């Protein structure tokens, strides 16, 4: 393809949020022309393709927050979308298990959150019911969440990509097109990639791990910075898989933006254990020793990161030691399933989470969307963004329709 091509909207980022936004925009405004620009060779390469594949229920999130509302709505839409397009998924339910008395207060807070968020069918259960659901799991109390499920988010993203191109008005999803510059003009923006330039009336930035850098290219001050946290996973051996029937979660610390190490039975029958959460020296670094100088400088020169480290140093140290010690990782897993042994585990994939951090060191918990000129920048779309993607796409479409005055 040669020369410039004009589009009404350029969406930067071919993860599930960018694709869902383009898809919803296409449905609401079928006459506009959209291009999605993805820097990798295929869509859903980073956060979308490296998460645990869980369809979250919305249980954890603060009532009334964007996360709570979009997760509940998005989960329903996602399940309907999967059924319609025959994408493998399963509503298997999960349990959140307290193993110590001191966890019961947080378990009760989570349960009340679930009640306020109208999570269907949740119930508090005791040790006998835990054993009925997960015979290998040990706990003193738990919350059963029947509406939680599992899905292959990469397949969802791939289907969205095909629908955008098939049903739209000249829409394109272009991979291997990393954005290198954004050039503002009076009535359009030129988006420069390593292959060619595109002129677009409006820009929507859904670049995930790179979203703050795209914002800066657009002369937008994001007032936050993306700090990458790697999550390592182990997989249970085929023999040990029988110890996990569905999804088993610990009681999370409400002061932290992570859910803790948990067990996830995948669509293919395998069982993943993880993730932990450690600072990554590379934004897209999936290996324990991956390093990128520019990424490291971006993070380590940011005062907000050091304030965050000071606040959470004890938690971070524990996570980092577990990242390099199978024995310590196993010990964390044995809190829920004591019968697990070291030879039940084998190394698996890793993911990198784009954690937005404010200058005061606080991790941004809710979605953050910033508007300027003819651009919308999605600067924080944390978990459950994959579950909520279609609802987030609807929200971004509404914002764009109003802000850009789309007909």
**If we measure between CA atoms, which residue out of 8, 55, 50 comes closest to residue 388?**
55
Q: For 123-162, how does the pLDDT look when each residue is reduced to its tens digit (9 = 90+)? A: 999 999 999 999 999 999 999 999 999 999 999 999 999 9
pLDDT of residue 365: 87
Burial (0-12, 13-18, 19+ Cβ within 10 Å), 47? buried
pLDDT of residue 2: 39
pLDDT of residue 315: 72
Q: For 353-391, how does the pLDDT look when each residue is reduced to its tens digit (9 = 90+)? A: 999 999 999 999 888 999 999 999 999 998 899 999 999
* Domain segments of the chain as ranges: 5-48+154-224+365-403, 228-239+258-361
pLDDT of residue 5: 56
Q: For 319-359, how does the pLDDT look when each residue is reduced to its tens digit (9 = 90+)? A: 777 777 888 889 999 999 999 999 999 989 899 999 999 99
pLDDT of residue 393: 97
**What's the predicted TM-score (pTM) here?**
0.94
Cα dihedral sign, 393-397-403-404: positive
Q: For 159-183, how does the pLDDT look when each residue is reduced to its tens digit (9 = 90+)? A: 999 999 998 779 999 999 999 999 9
Query: Looking at domain 5-48+154-224+365-403, what is its CATH homologous superfamily?
Result: FAD/NAD(P)-binding domain (3.50.50.60)
Please identify which residue in the block is written with the tokens 């307290």: 98
């Amino acid at each position: 393809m040669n020369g410039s091509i004009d589009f009404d909207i350029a969406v930067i980022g071919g993860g599930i949020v960018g694709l869902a936004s383009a898809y919803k925009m296409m449905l609401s405004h079928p006459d506009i022309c959209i291009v999605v620009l993805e820097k990798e060779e295929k869509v859903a390469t980073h956060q979308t393709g490296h998460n645990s594949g869980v369809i979250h229920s919305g249980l954890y999130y603060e009532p009334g927050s964007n996360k709570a509302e979009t997760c509940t709505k998005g989960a329903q839409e996602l399940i309907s979308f999967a059924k319609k397009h025959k994408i493998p998924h399963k509503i298997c339910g999960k349990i959140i298990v307290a193993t110590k008395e001191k966890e019961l207060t947080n378990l009760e807070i989570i349960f009340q959150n679930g009640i306020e968020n109208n999570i269907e069918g949740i119930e508090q259960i005791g040790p006998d019911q835990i054993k009925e659901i997960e015979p290998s799991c040990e706990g003193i109390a738990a919350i059963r969440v029947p509406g939680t499920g599992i899905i292959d988010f990469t397949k969802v993203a791939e289907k969205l990509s095909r629908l955008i191109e098939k049903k739209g008005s000249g829409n394109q999803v272009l991979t291997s097109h990393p954005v290198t510059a954004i050039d503002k003009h009076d009535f359009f923006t030129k988006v420069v990639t390593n292959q060619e330039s595109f002129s677009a009336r409006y820009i929507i930035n859904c670049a995930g791990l790179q979203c703050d850098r795209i914002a800066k290219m657009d002369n937008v001050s994001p007032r936050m910075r993306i700090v990458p946290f790697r999550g390592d996973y182990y997989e249970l051996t085929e023999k040990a898989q029988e110890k996990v029937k569905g999804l088993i979660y610990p009681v999370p610390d409400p002061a932290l933006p992570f859910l803790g190490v948990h067990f996830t039975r995948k669509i293919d029958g395998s069982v993943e254990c993880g993730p932990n959460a450690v600072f990554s020296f590379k934004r897209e670094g999936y290996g324990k020793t991956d390093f990128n100088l520019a990424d490291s400088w971006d993070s380590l020169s940011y005062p907000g990161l050091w304030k965050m480290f000071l606040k959470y140093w004890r938690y971070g140290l524990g996570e980092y030691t577990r990242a390099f010690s199978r024995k310590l990782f196993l010990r964390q897993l044995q809190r829920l399933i004591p019968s697990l042994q070291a030879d039940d585990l084998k190394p698996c994939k890793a993911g990198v989470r784009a954690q937005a951090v404010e200058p005061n060191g606080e991790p941004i918990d809710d979605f953050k969307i910033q508007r300027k000129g003819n651009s919308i920048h999605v600067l924080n779309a944390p978990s459950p963004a994959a579950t909520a993607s279609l609802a987030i796409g609807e929200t971004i479409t509404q914002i764009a329709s109003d802000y850009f005055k789309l007909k």
